[in-house]
Structure 1
Amino acid sequence: MKTVITFGTFDVFHVGHLRILQRARAFGDRLVVGVSTDQLNYEKKGRFPVYTQNERLEIVSSIKWVDAVFLEDSLEKKREYLAAYGADVLVMGSDWAGIFDMFSDSCNIVYVDRTPSISTTEVIEKIRG
């Protein structure tokens, strides 16, 4: 069984999130998703997510292509997460291209194209506007 892993915040869930999960699952038999904790999101983006980490876990876990979810609480623990979940493939959006190549010694790294013209930040700004 080939295990695929991906990571994200998955806040204000939209079709771009859905598509990356669908594409990620196509690279293996099992998809594991690390969902950023509220605190990690604040550290990365300077704001807390709209939805809590538990709500985002519930949303992501309900997607038919997702087999398991966990909370990612540190960017520095990526290698530990890959090992803990037995990742054969790490799939990330193309906006991260090259960033995770350092893990190619433990699994295959794949960067998939993002869905054009959609991002969580744009969705939030549109709602505020």
Structure 2
Amino acid sequence: MARTVITFGTFDVFHVGHLRVIERAAALGDRLVVGVSADALNMRKKDRLPVFSEGERLAIVSALKPVDEVFVEESLELKRDYILKFGADVLVMGDDWEGRFDEFKDICEVVYLPRTPAISTTALIEKISGNA
């Protein structure tokens, strides 16, 4: 039976770290579903809008070869609903979230992948804007 993997992210100022997490997540199953954070969710989380709009970020992520389906993640509190809706067997998150999603182990496998060293969207934005 096919294994569905689900992961989430803002994927703003798309970089190689984003690509690597998507490739590594895809390798854990047969189908990869990616939740892209809504602009409003990013505003609530980081107190700023993404550089690229929700529509642009959805287009970028959906164009990636390993990605089978994308959707807009409206709320962090709906992760369980998203996992169930897409029939995910595996939830993949970056290891900066280690332990934060263990509550979902009752419905799927939870995997925390190491982040790509020395790559951060926030740091890139600050560098580009001259605030670094």
Task: Give the TM bin, normalised by the shorter chain.
Answer: over 0.9
SS of structure 2 residue aligned to 1:104: helix
CA shift at 1:128, angstroms? Answer: 1.2
Instruction: Give % identity.
Output: 66
In the other structure, the counterpart of 1:5 is 6
In the other structure, the counterpart of 1:77 is 78
1:1-129 matches, within 5 Å, as 1-129=2-130
CA shift at 1:125, angstroms? Answer: 1.0
Q: Which amino acid is 1:56 matched to?
A: R
Aligned residues: 129
State the distance in 2 between where 1:124 and 1:75 align.
Answer: 23
Unaligned regions of 5+ residues in structure 2, if any? none
**Cα-Cα RMSD:** 0.4
- TM-score using structure 1 length: 0.99
CA shift at 1:126, angstroms? Answer: 1.1
- State the Cα deviation string for residues 74-95 of structure 1 (Å, max 9, x = none): 1111000000000000000000
Q: Which amino acid is 2:21 matched to?
A: I
Which runs of structure 1 show a deviation greater than 3 angstroms over 4 or more consecutive aligned residues?
Answer: none
CA shift at 1:27, angstroms? Answer: 0.4
